[in-house]
Amino acid sequence: MVAFSQTPWSRYRVRSISLPARSHPSTIRVEQQLAKLRSLDSSSFSSIEAICSSLSGLVELYRCINEVLNLPLPQQALAVLRGEIWVQELVDNSVRFLDICDNTRDAILVIKESIRDLQSAIRRSKYEDSGVENSITSYICSRKRIKHESLKKSITSLRQTDYTAGASPPLQIENEVTAAVIRVLREASSVTSSIFNSLLSFLAVPMNRRPKPSRWTLVSRLVQKGAITRNNHTERINELVNLDMAIDRLQLESLNRDGEAKEKIQSMIRERLQGLDWSIERIERGTEGLFRELIHTRVCLLNILSQ
């Protein structure tokens, strides 16, 4: 199982982060958006709704940051320190976040396609037919593959970001404008790392399955997951885990050869797949929007430092 580090958002926190040119609306919105994202409870990021909200906030944050980076004072402040470690850290993070976002987009696309394949198979046939069995196997394999390929690379990159941030020397800049710009960009990086951690943790939920599980293996797994004893509380669980539990129950009913029970479980799976498909699309839109803003941020930084 992959272990995720939790980025402490207080790592870069200072008593006051006041950007220059406060009369400009973009500078005020950056501070407001950072305050919103800092107030989010990272322990609640186990649902798609919470993740979508955080992604939306992150997109707006970078949109405002990009507007600020086009202002003369911030540009001058960063240009003066183009050779300093604090500025290089920001440039390096811009590359890492772009790569992480791109890998995450690829993983989401694979999940979405496997969900739709499973939807089609369940609509077309009953569980006895190989179509559904093959689609379930394909879905499980896709989840495992993205966890160990795309998501693993992103997790490693995030750890490097966290390590670099922890090893970075204290900010010692006399110019108030320059210090404020660096501080706010570093805190944006900290918040971004934390939200990516939550998103990757959600997508990489464990998939510990055997190709042909026995009846008692399935019963044991369902009890451990709470699908039998706590079925009324499944809405509080990661939506991907909810779907896993429904698939486990379908496999159990297949072993019982109870046609009516299987039809009920298939109906449940169809409902959860439909909701999950819509939710994954929302995450996809969020990561697409974030990717565009991150590209803009990197271009702004490179343009400023090349002056």
SS (H, E, C) the chain: CCCCCCCCHHHHCCCCCCCCCCCCHHHHHHHHHHHHHHHCCHHHCCCHHHHHHHHHHHHHHHHHHHHHHCCHHHHHHHHHCCCCHHHHHHHHHHHHHHHHHHHHHHHHHHHHHHHHHHHHHHHHCCCCCHHHHHHHHHHHHHHHHHHHCHHHHHHHHHHHHHHHHHHCCCCCCCCHHHHHHHHHHHHHHHHHHHHHHHHHHHHCCCCCCCCCCCHHHHHHHHHHHCCCCCHHHHHHCCHHHHHHHHHHHHHHHHHHCCHHHHHHHHHHHHHHHHHHHHHHHHHHHHHHHHHHHHHHHHHHHHHHHCC
At residue 100 the predicted structure's pLDDT band, cuts being 50, 70 and 90, is: very high
Mean pLDDT along residues 12-40: 66
Mean pLDDT along residues 147-173: 75
CA 44 – CA 42 distance, rounded (Å): 5
Q: Would you state the structure tokens that stand for residue 24, as one six-digit string?
A: 């400009």
Mean pLDDT along residues 193-205: 87
Q: Which residues contact 121 (CB under 8 A, 6 or more apart)?
A: 131, 132, 134, 135
Give the Å distances, CA to CA, from 157 to 1, 75, 163, 186. Answer: 17, 28, 10, 17
pLDDT at 6 over 60: no
Mean pLDDT along residues 278-298: 94
pTM (2 d.p.): 0.78
Mean pLDDT along residues 204-214: 55
Closest CA to 240 of 279, 292, 193, 198: 279
Is the CB of residue 241 less than 8 Å from the CB of residue 276? no
Is the CB of residue 202 less than 8 Å from the CB of residue 143? no
pLDDT of residue 172: 67
Q: Considering the chain, what percentage of its residues have pLDDT values greater than 90?
A: 21
Identity of the residue numbered 219: V
Mean pLDDT along residues 72-76: 87
φ, ψ dihedrals at 209, nearest 5°: -125, 155
When mean pLDDT is compared across 4-8, 33-37, 117-121, the lowest value belongs to 4-8
pLDDT of residue 128: 52
CA 225 – CA 191 distance, rounded (Å): 31
When mean pLDDT is compared across 47-51, 233-237, 302-306, the lowest value belongs to 233-237
Identity of the residue numbered 306: S
pLDDT at 14 over 70: no
pLDDT at 210 over 50: no
pLDDT at 231 over 50: no
pLDDT at 266 over 80: no
Parse the chain into domains and list their residue ranges: 21-207+280-305
Q: SS3 for 57?
A: helix
Indicate the average pLDDT of the chain: 76
pLDDT of residue 218: 42
pLDDT top residue among 300 and 168: 300
